[in-house]
Chain A
């Protein structure tokens, strides 16, 4: 920057300081208004972040009502009393595991399931149709369907999953792909899975566990296909919020002889739930922020338009003395920038205090991003500049001849 340019910048800054300090009350009020608007904007973002963290945490506790239990396999061991016993199958889960699980207080349902797919999907085709549709294949008991809160139709045939008959419940989207109409009466429809023909006995939609794209066959058939239950898992649904205490005792209930081989983990898609909460609160904050942004712009614009009108004589005088249009508008741009920057800086502090106060009042943990203190001044300055556009343009349109005329 040349000496001449820097001298011009100093002149503009000096003008702004003189003008703002001459109208001290107005300046303070506008800066306070910008600070409150920017502070409210930043506080809404900060509070929503804090709230989402807190809500997600609370949800984590309250939605811990779905567990999965697995048993680490040991070669040659078979504790099962299911139909698989005696067929040379390696079984880690006792045959009465579902009864054991449901006997625990606060457990509402429990059932076994086993994914048959080694490559994630299995080719399934409708009988008489050569098209093969890759479909996730799951073996499950009726207890699993209950634990998963599966939205099934009809519900009367679910018990067939506890047999070893060749029956299948199709997920609704899997049925659509196979061109099988979803109805309460699936009789007459058959699908081919491998060499075996399976009779369709019902349909299932997305529930707590999404089975809509799957084909569900009796658990026993899956165990036979997989030569054991080493990849099986027991899904346990508890009363809301009871997941943690149940997880503490389930291992001993499933394998009292070897509880150390039993692992349990939370199943609910909590991360997606958290993400959903985050997204929705972020959207809410964005909308609130957008309204406040517009409000702040209008506030500064209004104040500066009033200022331009009040300073018509002064602007006209500057033009008469030879100030260019750009020179006149520069004063208003600079004023907007200064007001916005000071307001934004104050606002980020106000916002941070609000976030901490709200968090303290609700006994939450406050989450304040360090960028908060950069975003505030930058946002304030940007709003100030944006809001100055119209008043600055307006100022350049003032006719010097009219402004200095004496009536």
Chain B
């Protein structure tokens, strides 16, 4: 907490009239005309009830899904005109994801789980061990390096997921309920890591039900019925 916060007045994410409709019967509109601008280094919390469109918004922000209409610019580039391969590359190089269910692979060791991201970003093999060590120290799991994913506790798994998300130094960290399955101590540890990243200029977007996280963020957005109904600055 000793480092100063760096929020640059430069939009990294800019959403204009984003709509997402799933072609079910009847069609379901998960997002309806969302306008949003997120600055570099900002800590953003998105809160809302179940079914309010939070996860859909995160999927669109992380290029895991495409919007039905509207414009999404990532660091000034229109993502709708990008090829699938370019979107894959952006996801690999600029984003870090922390999912609610951590998705740590049980048959791989902690180090192998983290190395997965480094292999995808094509980080030279000789650099990987040091990068893994560094990030494991950051999340306090260096002693569990060779443990299999299935042998970890819920908190440890979530920290491995965070380590995997940040090992490639992403510009944007997208986290879906990162503290949903954690006790208070583990939640605090996770937020400390997020703080550390934000201080280094990483934009952090967190989807949460946890009001404590909403209080921690620089901005808290409230989604309801696929619409942004409130935007509170801290």
Contacts and interface: CB of A to CB of B under 8 A. Distances in A.
Given A317-B103, A318-B116, A401-B65, A8 B122 contact: yes
Contacts of A323: 88, 92, 120
Contacts of B62: 320
A399 B65 CA distance: 8
B230 interface: no
Given A313-B103, A317-B103, A319-B88, 14 more contacts: A11-B125, A14-B119, A18-B108, A314-B105, A317-B105, A318-B120, A320-B62, A321-B97, A324-B88, A324-B89, A327-B120, A404-B103, A406-B99, A406-B177
Contacts of A15: 119
B141 to A, nearest CB: 19
Interface in A377-407: 399-401, 404-406
Nearest to B90: A322
A363 interface: no
Interface of B: 55, 59, 62, 64-65, 84-85, 88-93, 95, 97, 99-101, 103, 105, 107-108, 112, 116-117, 119-122, 124-125, 164, 176-177
Closest 10 CB pairs of A and B: A322-B92, A22-B107, A322-B91, A401-B64, A406-B100, A11-B119, A401-B65, A406-B101, A401-B59, A324-B88
A401 to B, nearest CB: 4
B121 to A, nearest CB: 7
Contact of B121 (A322, A400, A406): A322
A321 B99 contact: no
Nearest to B113: A317
A381 to B, nearest CB: 24
- What does DSSP make chain A's interface, helix, strand, loop or mixed? helix
B99 A404 contact: yes
A320 B65 contact: no
18 contacts: A7-B122, A11-B119, A15-B119, A18-B108, A317-B116, A318-B116, A319-B88, A320-B64, A320-B91, A321-B116, A322-B92, A323-B120, A324-B88, A324-B89, A401-B59, A401-B65, A404-B64, A404-B101
A325 B89 CA distance: 11
A10 B65 contact: no
A25 to B, nearest CB: 13
Which range holds the interface residue count of chain A?
20 to 34
B166 to A, nearest CB: 12
Nearest to A14: B119
Contacts of B93: 322
A118 interface: no
A24 to B, nearest CB: 10
The residue in A7, A23, A320 that gathers the most chain B C-beta atoms within 10 A of its C-beta is A320
Interface of A: 4, 7-8, 10-11, 14-15, 18-19, 22-23, 313-314, 317-325, 327, 399-401, 404-406
B94 to A, nearest CB: 9
Contact of B107 (A4, A18, A321): A18
B105 A322 contact: no
A10 B125 contact: yes
A322 B95 contact: yes
B92 A321 contact: yes
A401 B62 CA distance: 10
A401 B124 CA distance: 28
Contacts of B121: 322
B108 A22 contact: yes
A384 B116 CA distance: 25
B171 to A, nearest CB: 13
Contacts of A18: 107-108, 112
A322 B108 contact: no
Given A8-B122, A10-B125, A321 B117 contact: yes
A323 B91 CA distance: 8
Contacts of B100: 406
Contacts of B95: 322
Contacts of A400: 64
A323 B89 CA distance: 8
A404 to B, nearest CB: 5
Nearest to A313: B103
A7 B124 contact: yes
A24 B126 CA distance: 29
A321 B122 CA distance: 12
Contacts of A314: 105
B99 to A, nearest CB: 5
Nearest to B123: A7
Contacts of B112: 18
Nearest to A21: B107
A93 B112 CA distance: 92
